[in-house]
Amino acid sequence: MQRLQRKRIVLGVGGGIAAYKSAELIRRLRDQGAEVRVVMTRAAREFITPLTLQALSGHPVFNDLLDPAAEAAMGHIELAKWADLVLIAPATADLMARLAQGIADDLLTTLVLATDAPVALAPAMNQAMWRDAATQANAELLVQRGMRLFGPAAGSQACGDVGPGRMLEADELAQRAADCFARGLLTGCRVLITAGPTQEAIDPVRYITNHSSGKMGFALAEAAAEAGAQVTLVSGPVHLVTPQRVERVNVVSARDMLAACEAAMPCEILIAAAAVADYRPEVIASQKMKKDPGSDDGLTLRMVRNPDILATLAQRADRPFSVGFAAETENLLDYAARKLRDKNLDLIVANDVANPSIGFNSEENAITIIDRQLQQNSFPQTSKGKIARQLVAFIAERYHRN
Residue 300, classed as helix, strand or coil, is: coil
CA distance 44 to 184: 36
DSSP letter, residue 271: E
Residue 221, classed as helix, strand or coil, is: helix
Q: What's the N-to-C CA distance of the chain in angstroms?
A: 33
Catalytic residue ranges: 159
Residue 157, classed as helix, strand or coil, is: coil
CA distance 163 to 91: 17
Query: DSSP secondary structure string, 33-66?
Result: T-EEEEEE-TGGGGTS-HHHHHHHHTSPPB--TT
- Which are the contacts of 334, defined by CB distance < 8 A and separation ≥ 6? none
Contact 39, 82 (CB under 8 A): no
CA distance 251 to 358: 25
CA distance 337 to 350: 9
Contact 348, 323 (CB under 8 A): yes
CA distance 238 to 212: 9
C-beta atoms surrounding 52 within 10 Å: 16
Residue 236, classed as helix, strand or coil, is: coil
